[in-house]
Amino acid sequence: MTYAIAPHANACVPVAGTDMRFPVHRIYCIGRNYADHAHEMGSVVDRKNPIFFAKPADAIVTSNGDVPYPPMTNELHHEVEMIVALATGGRDIAVDDALEHVYAYGVGLDLTRRDLQLIAKSKGNPWDTAKGFDCSAPVSDLHRVRDIGHPDCIGLRLSVNGEMRQQTELGNMLFSVAEIIHELSRFYELKSGDLIFTGTPAGVALLNRGDHFHAELAGVATLEGRII
């Protein structure tokens, strides 16, 4: 095949304990999946209408890399989340079958230009510029289900400069992993290589240049990085 221009390298994430890398197809995110975060943002929790949005696959930052402070914002916020990586996909996946599609888990940050998001929300506009910017998705190495099983009711934490900012347990998610996969598959044909960010708890706050963050999915994955 001859390309008109040089093709870009595919985004991929290291698989823990191996020399393999997980090729990323799409990044899906769910909003308002922890009631305390929805409340701190002044939003209403509605289990009948899950809120989904996306980030570009090449927004990932891997291997505990530095994260550049993005342009066009003065309010960069952290949102720590468990990440789900899919080995297989499909449409209209049943809740009871959903976990069979999961390849691995990790932890990451859904970085958000909060000022842009609030302006967009006030005008009824899309959130794209607030969520889908360059380097907006730092992610840990992925840990395979075959090695760790499916995480259940374990801790999810984020500290910044040694200060705990966000802390919860996965059992507090309003939509479980299986339910998220089911609901997403009603809107999209999920495919191998998809990453799913599963929502953030309360405590979202500012990140500044020079800040060091440490995210942890207890006993499973850790992620560190610095805002530069």
Q: For the chain, which domains are there?
A: 12-226 (3.90.850.10)
pLDDT band for position 62 (50/70/90)?
very high
Q: Which tokens is 196 given?
A: 């799913």
pLDDT band for position 1 (50/70/90)?
confident
| pLDDT mean over 144-152 | 97
Which one-letter DSSP state was computed for residue 118?
Answer: H
| pLDDT mean over 7-26 | 97
State yes or no: pLDDT of 219 exceeds 90: yes
Q: What is the DSSP string of 141-210?
A: PBEEHHHH----S-EEEEEETTEEEEEEEGGGBSS-HHHHHHHHHHHS-B-TT-EEE----S---B--TT
CB 84 within 8 A of CB 177: yes
Question: In terms of Cα–Cα distance, which of 65, 50, 70 is closest to 11?
Answer: 65
Question: In terms of Cα–Cα distance, which of 79, 61, 68 is closest to 140?
Answer: 61
Which one-letter DSSP state was computed for residue 96?
Answer: G
Taking the C-alpha atoms of residue 215 and residue 23, their distance in angstroms, rounded to an integer, is 22
State yes or no: pLDDT of 38 exceeds 90: no
pTM (2 d.p.): 0.97
| pLDDT mean over 183-200 | 98
Q: pLDDT for 122-132, tens place per residue?
A: 999 999 999 99
Q: pLDDT for 206-217, tens place per residue?
A: 999 999 999 999
